[in-house]
Structures are given as structure tokens and as C-alpha cells.
């Protein structure tokens, strides 16, 4: 099972009247809201040029977006129960001297993507002031 929750929203920022930096800040805000739901009040976003959500000097959530003609792609990767040993072999996000963490590591218990998905979707709807609609499963 994967240990990261990946979210790649496709939004028209012009329709939302949201600048790109505001969009990145909104993604950070939704992850911070999610962290508070799990009791991680110490999670924080750093000022630009840094992006993402951090616990101290350890990155919990990476954010990398692309925007073309005001349409977003790419998004975020939130470490839920990620095997963090893989990060020992790279310089995550190109940031020397910074570490990586996960919800499981910070909370001292197993937190899977399945545990995080619904609170993440709730936080998304709150931050972006929208209602997510899911198509019916064609297999039903």
C-alpha cells in the first residue's frame, strides 16, 4: 500500500480569482487544517521561497504545482505512513539540511492514506469553499 496521499487538483485559477501563490498558500492551509484534525498543532508553513508543510525542520507535505493558461496541474504529496528510509538516499526537494517526516512518525501510530482521505477531502472543501461531487461507480 502506498504511504503518501497524492492530490493533483485541476482548477481554473482565473475562475476562482486566485493568484498562483495564493493557490499554493491554500494547499498549505488545507494540509495545516488536516494536521489540526489529527492533533498536530505544531505543523506550519514556511515563508517563500519554501513551500509545503513542516514539523520543525522536517517536511511533512511537499507541494509542487504547474499552471498553464490559469489551469493548475500537479499538486501535493502528504507523507502518511511513508517508508522514510528512502529519503536517506536523496536530497528531498533539493533542500540540504532539511529532513522528512510523516503523520505516522509525528503521531507515534500508524496513519494510513485511508485514515487521511476523508478528513483531507473535508479540509479541501472547507478551504476552497466547494462541494466535491463524485461520479457514480460504473460498476454498480
CATH number at residue 96: 3.30.930.10
Max mean pLDDT range (39-48, 80-89, 99-108): 99-108
Q: Tell me how many domains the chain contains.
A: 1
pLDDT of residue 116: 98
Residue 103's contacts (CB-CB under 8 Å, 6 or more residues apart) are 35, 38, 40, 60, 78, 79, 80, 81, 111, 116
> In the predicted model, is pLDDT for residue 140 greater than 60?
no
Q: Looking at the whole model, is its pTM more than 0.85?
A: yes
Q: Tell me the average pLDDT across 83-99.
A: 69
> In the predicted model, is pLDDT for residue 39 greater than 80?
yes
Cell 526537494, residue located: 93
Cell 507515534, residue located: 108
pLDDT single digits (tens) 5-35: 999 999 999 999 999 999 999 999 999 999 9
- Show the domain range for 37: 4-128
Q: Is 131 exposed, middle or buried (0-12, 13-18, 19+ CB in 10 A)?
A: exposed
Active site residue ranges: 93
Report the DSSP beta bridge partners of residue 4: 79
Structural domain contains residue 63: yes
Structural domain contains residue 30: yes
Which of 78, 76, 65 shows the shortest CA–CA distance to 18? 65
Amino acid at each position: 500500500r502506498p504511504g503518501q496521499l497524492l492530490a493533483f487538483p485541476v482548477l481554473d485559477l482565473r475562475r476562482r480569482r486566485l493568484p498562483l501563490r495564493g493557490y499554493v498558500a491554500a494547499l498549505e492551509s488545507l494540509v495545516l487544517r488536516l494536521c489540526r484534525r489529527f492533533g498536530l498543532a505544531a505543523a506550519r508553513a514556511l515563508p517563500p521561497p519554501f513551500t509545503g508543510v513542516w514539523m520543525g525542520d522536517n517536511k511533512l507535505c511537499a507541494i509542487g504545482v504547474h499552471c498553464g493558461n490559469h489551469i493548475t496541474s500537479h499538486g501535493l504529496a502528504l507523507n502518511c505512513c511513508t517508508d522514510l528510509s528512502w529519503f536517506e538516499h536523496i536530497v528531498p526537494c533539493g533542500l540540504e539540511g532539511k529532513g522528512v517526516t510523516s503523520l505516522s512518525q509525528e503521531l507515534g501510530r500508524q496513519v494510513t492514506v485511508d485514515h487521511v482521505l476523508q478528513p483531507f477531502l473535508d479540509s479541501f472543501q472547507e478551504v476552497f469553499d466547494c462541494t466535491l461531487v463524485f461520479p457514480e461507480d460504473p460498476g454498480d
